[in-house]
Chains A and B, each alone.
Chain A
Amino acid sequence: QSALTQPPSASGSPGQSVTISCTGTSSDVGGYNYVSWYQQHPGKAPKLMIYDVSKRPSGVPDRFSGSKSGNTASLTVSGLQAEDEADYYCSSYAGSDSDVVFGGGTKVTVL
Chain B
Amino acid sequence: EVQLVESGGGLVQPGGSLRLSCAASGFTFSAYWMHWVRQAPGKGLEWVSRITSDGSTTTYADSVRGRFTVSRDNAKNTLYLQMNSLRAEDTAVYYCARVYCDGAGCYKGFQHWGQGTLVTVSS
Contact = CB atoms under 8 A, between A and B. Distances in A.
B38 to A, nearest CB: 10
Given A1-B61, A57-B100, A58-B102, A48 B109 contact: yes
Nearest to B113: A45
Query: Which range holds the interface residue count of chain B?
Result: 20 to 34
A36 B110 CA distance: 8
B93 to A, nearest CB: 9
A103 interface: yes
B46 interface: yes
B44 interface: yes
B45 interface: yes
B47 A102 contact: yes
Contact of A38 (B45, B63, B102): B45
Given A96-B59, A97-B59, A51 B45 contact: no
A48 B111 contact: yes
B107 A52 contact: yes
A100 interface: yes
Given A57-B100, A97-B59, A100-B35, A46 B110 contact: yes
